[in-house]
A and B are shown apart, each in its own frame.
Chain A
Amino acid sequence: MTPELGHFSLILASVVGLILAVFPLWGTINHNVAWQSLARPAAVMQFILVAFSFACLAASFLNNDFSVAYIAQHSNSLLPRPYQFAAVWGGHEGSLLLWILLLSGWACAVAFFSRSLPLDMVARVLGVLGCIAVGFMLFILTTSNPFNRIFPTPADGRDLNPLLQDPGLVIHPPMLYMGYVGMSVAFAFAIAALLSGRLDAAWARWSRPWTVIAWTFLTFGIGLGSWWAYYELGWGGWWFWDPVENASLLPWLVGTALIHSLMVTEKRGSFKAWTVLLAIAAFSLSLLGTFLVRSGVLTSVHAFASDPSRGIFILIFLAVVVGGSLTLFSWRAPQVTLGGQMGVVSRESFMLANSVLLVVATGAVLLGTLYPLIIDALNLGKLSVGPPYFNLVFAPLMVPLLFILVPGTVAQWREAQLKTIFNKLRYLAVAALVSANALTIYLGPWTWTTALGFFLGLWVGLSSLQHMVERVRKPGRIGGSFWGMHMAHFGLAVLVMGITGVKSYEVERDVRIGIEDVVTIAPYTFKLMGMQDVMGPNYKAQEAEVHIQKNGVYIKTLRPQKRRYFSSAMPMTEAAIDTGFMRDLYVSLGDPIPGERPEWSMRVYYKPFVPWMWAGILMMVAGGLLAALDRRYRKSTHDTQK
């Protein structure tokens, strides 16, 4: 009964979604206030119905109702409770339901936190969100219904993919989807502004906190995915330029450009058309990411069971939504007035350079991701594009981006003097240059790439610190957006330091090891003390006991595992990591090697600066939260409008 209730509730939600998509937007055309006022209650109702539907599916999962096909495929009675819940989004159908839950949640939040907005604007924004929601709900109901029953009912489920049985992966999809779906709010604001023809500073102010929140979730989601890949896949890598990873990076890059561009539009009234285009692009790339993951057009580690009919649906949806909004853009954008004057050297020009670099980087990543598909479509053969391409094009674009970030934060609006900027930054530049080289020589050997990486990290980091220290000394209340911006920039700096450090100094040892054998990565020695079998709730594991010594002194015991889940033949690697302030020690257990003496293959890594990367991402997230919660945005638009 519960699954049927969930199904029915979802159908009702799509009807409400249809009402939300049609009447408020129509009301803005014929100036019917009653129809416009439908927007808020319809958005709330839609959320309640979708949430109920989601709860029904979750309840069926927790009740082990294997008569539901989706549950039989993705859960098992032995699966621990928290994972039974997380299994709701462990497959295609359920993760789409999560997507729609978050989308209606965002719409509901807009309905609640939009008291300061004019009614017609609310009607348009929620109407656009309603259109997107209807599209996705129809997608679920027609091609990917998670509530379908199967007969005969299997005795037990096939279990959740062991790779997904991990705390990191429980929260990774919701966070990432919050980011993806959150971009729909920025998109809805942009479309609403285009429809109304009012592309002004007020519009930019309204969309800013929503965009920043979405960006924050996206940052956190990508960070979690990377962290999960690092400790769960057992390869010691944290970014693989996999098509699906790229699909999450693309909206992030454009989203980053968008939050900066929105600021210029709000403060100076410039870049309006560009900002709107970025908002459309950020959400379009989120949709494109969905298409790439679900349709199976590209091979990826994130293999959802792909189905061409789903691919066609999303592609048509993508064409309608993005094609429609770009048509609207090409029709309305020429009427947009240009903003204030800007000098060749000014904060605006630095911001523009920032935007352009980010967009070019997006284009490069997009091209690399789709290149195999394009070449195949043109019948030019099969190929794959690997990390060397991405590293080669991405890093050189990030170097100038990081470099101009600092003058961008000190330059004045409208017109700035290069000389003034130079005078402000010369000590900072010298300090960053000297300390970066000192650090590189100390860690040795000196290479220009490492020194450059550290220089950029220190350059951005020290500058953010300087801003914060100077500001604290001055009187007056400091806004959340100030702290947020410098926190996020500082986090970026820490991330850059981390990436530079790990790329330059990581050491990997791939060995065969027997009991009492030793692997040395100076000054650490890893000794295999023993091997034992461990039973988990739904798996059996072989666990190694590895003692780590530093300069001959015992510091830590690591217990990497090789797990065999009962439900699948695929063995899983559970790496063990010792995290310090400056480095990770990482041990991953491989297969036993046949021979007279028991031996195993084992990978041991010394990974300096890895904790810095995670810390940097967390700081960026904290910065995003601080900026989004700035009190300024909560004031009524009437008293702040000039």
Chain B
Amino acid sequence: MTLKNKFLIPLILFFVLVGFLAVGLKRDPHEIPSPLINKAAPAFELPTLSGDQIFSPADYKGKVWLLNVWATWCVSCREEHPVLVAFTQQYHIPVVGLSYKEIQPQETQLNQLPTDKKLQLARQRSQLFLNRLGNPYVLSVLDMDGRVGIQYGVYGVPETYVIDQQGIIRYKHVGPVTPDLIDKKLLPLLRQLEKT
């Protein structure tokens, strides 16, 4: 390399860097790939909110459905809620709620209650929330101790999973569902899945 060219090295390196930064700008570093994508949705049996039945993902074999992780204490869920309500009114895709750790570990006094009382309290709180803000769910199940959440790798509430006819998780979204996400990601995916 000639003497003159060597002074161009910093410039070239810099533009390579800018190239990477420009691509990086379009990516979302918060988007975390889930190892469960394209794997069977973990099975569970949990009591529903209304209290008269037990739900298991196997019940929805043959349908494309959404599993939405939520809780009344979750601030972002309040933001997401009207979006979900509008979504279910417009499209006939079943959305199953998974109420995640409704009674939080730091609610010390409540945690000292017996299990059935806690379950009752969680039901009351959740039902009140849904009565007030609208209910987007065909049904919602209660994951009191968060074990199902662990199986699904729940990272932060709210989270939404798309599960297909064979019970396989096709998509996972961490954070509130937005109208933008519904239009650009969820609807195309749901349409494609329903065709198959």
Measured CB to CB, the residues of A under 8 A from B are 273, 277, 280-281, 284, 291, 295-299, 308, 311-312, 315, 318-319, 322-323, 326-327, 329-330, 333-334, 370, 372-374, 376-377, 381-382, 569, 571, 591-592, 594
The docked-state distance in angstroms from the alpha carbon of A281 to that of B111 is: 56
- Which A residues lie within 8 Å of B25 (CB)? 295, 297, 308, 311-312, 315
The reply to whether A330 and B10 contact each other, CB–CB distance below 8 Å, is yes
Contact of B23 with A by CB under 8 A: yes
The reply to whether A299 and B105 contact each other, CB–CB distance below 8 Å, is no
The docked-state distance in angstroms from the alpha carbon of A281 to that of B27 is: 26
- Which A residues lie within 8 Å of B29 (CB)? 296-299, 372-373, 376
- Secondary structure of the B side of the interface? helix
Q: Which of A308, A312, A592, A594 has the most CB of B within 10 A?
A: A594
Contact of B128 with A by CB under 8 A: no
Pick from B15, B21, B31, B105: contact of A323, CB under 8 Å: B15
Chain B count of residues within 8 A CB distance of the other chain: 30
* Nearest B-chain residue to A384, judged by Cβ: B29
How distant is B25 from chain A, measured CB to nearest CB, in Å?
5
The reply to whether B24 and A376 contact each other, CB–CB distance below 8 Å, is yes
The reply to whether B33 and A329 contact each other, CB–CB distance below 8 Å, is no
The docked-state distance in angstroms from the alpha carbon of A596 to that of B25 is: 51
Q: Which B residues, 100 to 149, have Cβ-Cβ distances below 8 Å to chain A? A: 105-106, 108, 111-112
The reply to whether A284 and B7 contact each other, CB–CB distance below 8 Å, is no
With A273-B7, A284-B14 known, 4 other A-B pairs at CB within 8 A are A295-B25, A329-B7, A333-B7, A594-B108
* Nearest A-chain residue to B30, judged by Cβ: A299
* Nearest A-chain residue to B8, judged by Cβ: A330
Q: Which B residues, 29 to 71, have Cβ-Cβ distances below 8 Å to chain A? A: 29-33
A to B CB contacts below 8 Å, 7 in the list: A297-B21, A297-B25, A297-B27, A299-B30, A334-B7, A373-B29, A377-B20
> Given A319-B18, A323-B11, A569 and B75 touching (CB < 8 A)?
yes
Contact of B1 with A by CB under 8 A: no
The docked-state distance in angstroms from the alpha carbon of A381 to that of B73 is: 33
The docked-state distance in angstroms from the alpha carbon of A340 to that of B63 is: 80
Contact of B150 with A by CB under 8 A: no
- Which B residues lie within 8 Å of A291 (CB)? 21
The reply to whether A277 and B111 contact each other, CB–CB distance below 8 Å, is no
The reply to whether B14 and A323 contact each other, CB–CB distance below 8 Å, is yes
- Which A residues lie within 8 Å of B31 (CB)? 382
* Nearest A-chain residue to B25, judged by Cβ: A311
> Given A299-B29, A376-B29, A594-B105, A322 and B14 touching (CB < 8 A)?
yes
Measured CB to CB, the residues of B under 8 A from A are 3-4, 7-8, 10-11, 14-15, 17-18, 20-27, 29-33, 73, 75, 105-106, 108, 111-112
The reply to whether B3 and A334 contact each other, CB–CB distance below 8 Å, is yes
* Nearest B-chain residue to A318, judged by Cβ: B18
The docked-state distance in angstroms from the alpha carbon of A374 to that of B21 is: 8
- Which B residues lie within 8 Å of A326 (CB)? 10-11, 14
How distant is B53 from chain A, measured CB to nearest CB, in Å?
30
How distant is B75 from chain A, measured CB to nearest CB, in Å?
7
How distant is B188 from chain A, measured CB to nearest CB, in Å?
20
Pick from B3, B33, B111: contact of A382, CB under 8 Å: B33
- Which A residues lie within 8 Å of B106 (CB)? 571, 591-592
The reply to whether A277 and B10 contact each other, CB–CB distance below 8 Å, is yes
The reply to whether B30 and A315 contact each other, CB–CB distance below 8 Å, is no
How distant is A493 from chain B, measured CB to nearest CB, in Å?
33
- Which B residues lie within 8 Å of A322 (CB)? 14
The reply to whether B20 and A329 contact each other, CB–CB distance below 8 Å, is no
- Which B residues lie within 8 Å of A571 (CB)? 106
> Given A315-B18, A370-B20, A594-B112, A329 and B10 touching (CB < 8 A)?
yes
> Given A370-B20, A382-B32, A382-B33, A591 and B105 touching (CB < 8 A)?
yes
The docked-state distance in angstroms from the alpha carbon of A370 to that of B19 is: 12
How distant is A121 from chain B, measured CB to nearest CB, in Å?
23
- Which B residues lie within 8 Å of A319 (CB)? 15, 18
The reply to whether A315 and B22 contact each other, CB–CB distance below 8 Å, is yes
Q: Which of A299, A327, A377, A382 has the most CB of B within 10 A?
A: A377
The docked-state distance in angstroms from the alpha carbon of A308 to that of B31 is: 15
The reply to whether B21 and A373 contact each other, CB–CB distance below 8 Å, is yes
The docked-state distance in angstroms from the alpha carbon of A326 to that of B4 is: 13
* Nearest B-chain residue to A592, judged by Cβ: B108
* Nearest A-chain residue to B73, judged by Cβ: A569
How distant is A139 from chain B, measured CB to nearest CB, in Å?
15
The docked-state distance in angstroms from the alpha carbon of A330 to that of B9 is: 8
How distant is A331 from chain B, measured CB to nearest CB, in Å?
8
> Given A296-B29, A594-B108, A334 and B4 touching (CB < 8 A)?
yes
The docked-state distance in angstroms from the alpha carbon of A280 to that of B11 is: 11
The docked-state distance in angstroms from the alpha carbon of A381 to that of B32 is: 10
* Nearest A-chain residue to B33, judged by Cβ: A382
How distant is B146 from chain A, measured CB to nearest CB, in Å?
14
How distant is A22 from chain B, measured CB to nearest CB, in Å?
25
The reply to whether B7 and A377 contact each other, CB–CB distance below 8 Å, is no
The docked-state distance in angstroms from the alpha carbon of A592 to that of B112 is: 13
- Which A residues lie within 8 Å of B112 (CB)? 594
The reply to whether A330 and B105 contact each other, CB–CB distance below 8 Å, is no
The docked-state distance in angstroms from the alpha carbon of A323 to that of B32 is: 33
How distant is B126 from chain A, measured CB to nearest CB, in Å?
18
The docked-state distance in angstroms from the alpha carbon of A374 to that of B22 is: 11
How distant is B157 from chain A, measured CB to nearest CB, in Å?
13
The docked-state distance in angstroms from the alpha carbon of A592 to that of B105 is: 9
The reply to whether B24 and A373 contact each other, CB–CB distance below 8 Å, is yes
- Which B residues lie within 8 Å of A381 (CB)? 33
* Nearest B-chain residue to A284, judged by Cβ: B14
How distant is A274 from chain B, measured CB to nearest CB, in Å?
11
The docked-state distance in angstroms from the alpha carbon of A323 to that of B14 is: 7
The reply to whether B18 and A373 contact each other, CB–CB distance below 8 Å, is no
The docked-state distance in angstroms from the alpha carbon of A372 to that of B24 is: 9
- Which A residues lie within 8 Å of B24 (CB)? 297-298, 373-374, 376-377
Pick from A281, A315, A330, A591: contact of B21, CB under 8 Å: A315
> Given A329-B7, A591-B105, A594-B108, A377 and B18 touching (CB < 8 A)?
no
How distant is A438 from chain B, measured CB to nearest CB, in Å?
47
The reply to whether B18 and A376 contact each other, CB–CB distance below 8 Å, is no
How distant is A13 from chain B, measured CB to nearest CB, in Å?
28
- Which B residues lie within 8 Å of A277 (CB)? 10
The reply to whether B22 and A594 contact each other, CB–CB distance below 8 Å, is no
How distant is B10 from chain A, measured CB to nearest CB, in Å?
5
9 interchain residue pairs of minimum CB distance: A377-B23, A326-B11, A373-B24, A330-B7, A594-B111, A297-B24, A333-B7, A299-B29, A330-B8
The docked-state distance in angstroms from the alpha carbon of A334 to that of B4 is: 6
How distant is A568 from chain B, measured CB to nearest CB, in Å?
9
Q: Which of B17, B21, B73, B111 has the most CB of A within 10 A?
A: B21
* Nearest B-chain residue to A374, judged by Cβ: B20
* Nearest A-chain residue to B16, judged by Cβ: A374
How distant is B42 from chain A, measured CB to nearest CB, in Å?
22
The docked-state distance in angstroms from the alpha carbon of A277 to that of B8 is: 11
- Which B residues lie within 8 Å of A284 (CB)? 14
- Which A residues lie within 8 Å of B26 (CB)? 308
The docked-state distance in angstroms from the alpha carbon of A308 to that of B106 is: 37
- Which A residues lie within 8 Å of B22 (CB)? 315
How distant is A505 from chain B, measured CB to nearest CB, in Å?
34
The docked-state distance in angstroms from the alpha carbon of A322 to that of B26 is: 22
The docked-state distance in angstroms from the alpha carbon of A70 to that of B21 is: 28
- Which B residues lie within 8 Å of A323 (CB)? 11, 14-15, 18
* Nearest B-chain residue to A303, judged by Cβ: B30
The docked-state distance in angstroms from the alpha carbon of A308 to that of B25 is: 7
- Which B residues lie within 8 Å of A318 (CB)? 18, 21
